[in-house]
């Protein structure tokens, strides 16, 4: 294995962006940016609410069912328990992964953790009924030069940003599927984002 240090640095940075909203705190917009509870915490509260409705499952059809949420916890807790590291809860291990240093030889595992955490966060947002907090950037993709992307009957901006922290975000292109997330790449898109904020 001849993994380059900058590769693992970029992969770890992406993993931190995947772990934070899931396990620590998620950025929410309510007129201004602020940090809210993590998806894991909100799922736990939703599970408790669904369970405590006089012992009966919630009747509201739009709320996620207790089984949906339980399945999500079973999937994440079982998978994380199999991952290497000191014993503890799912949040303990994700915190450990967030804080420890990673070697270039662990690049594949870091990427695997990132993919799983992104998928769990996406599922949680769907179950919680969150809308995607994407800001269209209104400029051409710097890689494929797409401005629009067409889905069914609708036309949307190809280039969008999703905030991952008060000062950090990922930008992605729906046309070529490129995702930018490193601090250097964020600087490239900050001007576009600031145009919308002003």
Q: Interface mask (CB under 5 A) for Zn ion, residues 84-123, using x and -? A: ----------------------------------------
Q: C-beta of 175: minimal distance to Zn ion in Å?
A: 4
Examine residue 141 and tell whether it contacts Zn ion (CB under 5 A).
yes
Q: Interface mask (CB under 5 A) for Zn ion, residues 44-73, using x and -? A: ------------------------------
Examine residue 144 and tell whether it contacts Zn ion (CB under 5 A).
yes
Q: What angle do CA 10, 181, 139 make, to 5 degrees?
A: 145
Q: Give the position of tokens 């769907």.
A: 126
Q: Which candidate, 150, 117, 107, places its Cα nearest to that of 10?
A: 107
Examine residue 161 and tell whether it contacts Zn ion (CB under 5 A).
no
Judged by CB under 5 A, the stretch of 32-40, 45-53, 107-115, 166-174 that binds Zn ion is 166-174
Q: Which positions lie near Zn ion, rule CB under 5 A?
A: 141, 143-144, 146, 173, 175-176
């Amino acid at each position: 294995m001849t993994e380059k240090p900058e590769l693992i640095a970029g992969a770890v940075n992406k993993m931190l962006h995947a772990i934070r909203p899931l396990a620590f705190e998620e950025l929410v917009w309510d007129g201004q940016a602020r940090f809210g509870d993590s998806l894991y915490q909100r799922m736990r509260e939703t599970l408790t609410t669904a369970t405590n409705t006089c012992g009966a499952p919630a009747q509201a059809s739009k709320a996620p069912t207790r089984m949906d949420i339980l399945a999500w916890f079973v999937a994440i807790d079982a998978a994380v328990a199999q991952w290497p590291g000191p014993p503890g809860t799912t949040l303990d291990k994700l915190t450990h992964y967030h804080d420890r240093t990673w070697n270039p030889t662990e690049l594949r595992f870091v990427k695997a953790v990132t993919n799983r955490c992104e998928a769990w966060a996406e599922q949680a947002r769907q179950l919680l009924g969150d809308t995607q907090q994407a800001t269209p950037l209104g400029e051409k993709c710097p890689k494929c030069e797409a401005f629009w992307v067409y889905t069914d009957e609708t036309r949307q901006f190809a280039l969008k940003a999703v905030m991952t922290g008060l000062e950090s975000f990922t930008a992605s292109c729906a046309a070529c599927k490129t995702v930018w997330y490193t601090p250097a790449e964020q600087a490239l898109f900050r001007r576009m984002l600031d145009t919308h904020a002003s």
